[in-house]
Amino acid sequence: MKPVFDFFLKMCILAILFWLSLSLTGLAEAIDLRSVFWAWLICAANASVGYLLYEYAYHKGNQEFYKIVLGGHGVRALLTLSSVAWLVLASAVSREEFALTFFALYFAHLILEVLAYLKKNQFEKRSSSNGASSTFANR
């Protein structure tokens, strides 16, 4: 299975399990769903963009790879923090529910993102050792 498809499949499974757990436990009636939704959306978008940048930079040279991945991480951090600050300062969300959901989902998506990086590395290593042509072999 291609790593990109695998990553987004796991993102969908995580989202389904998260929203199902809220609705089946009855928490959906007790919390501000708008706050939870914004936290989920920001975390999911952050992880998705991070993985797509990693995919894009994977076959680049070391210097360009680090510029894309680490520079992208800096830009993503600024955009995420700006979004959080705007939502909290505009009182568009319940602070406690948003903060708890944001931290939990941020770390869940971070773990998923790192595992996807590792799977991509294993996939590329396997495909290059099986005789498949890679960009490194063609150089």
Averages of pLDDT over runs of 10 residues in the chain (139 residues) are 90 96 90 94 97 94 95 97 95 93 96 94 84 48
Sequence-separated (6 or more) residues with CB below 8 Å from residue 99: none
Using the CB atoms, write b or e for 48-82: b if 16+ within 10 Å. ebbbebbbebbeeeeeebeebbeebeeebeeebee
What is the token pair recorded at 10? 């796991």
What is the token pair recorded at 47? 């992880």
Tell me which DSSP letter residue 23 carries: H
Taking the model in full, what pTM does it have? 0.85
pLDDT at residue 110, as a whole number: 95
pLDDT at residue 139, as a whole number: 36
pLDDT at residue 131, as a whole number: 60
In this structure, which amino acid lies at residue 101?
T
pLDDT at residue 67, as a whole number: 96
Strands (DSSP E) along the chain, which ranges? none
Phi, psi of 129 (to 5 degrees): -80, -20
pLDDT at residue 1, as a whole number: 66
What is the token pair recorded at 63? 């210097």
Strands (DSSP E) along 17-134, which ranges? none
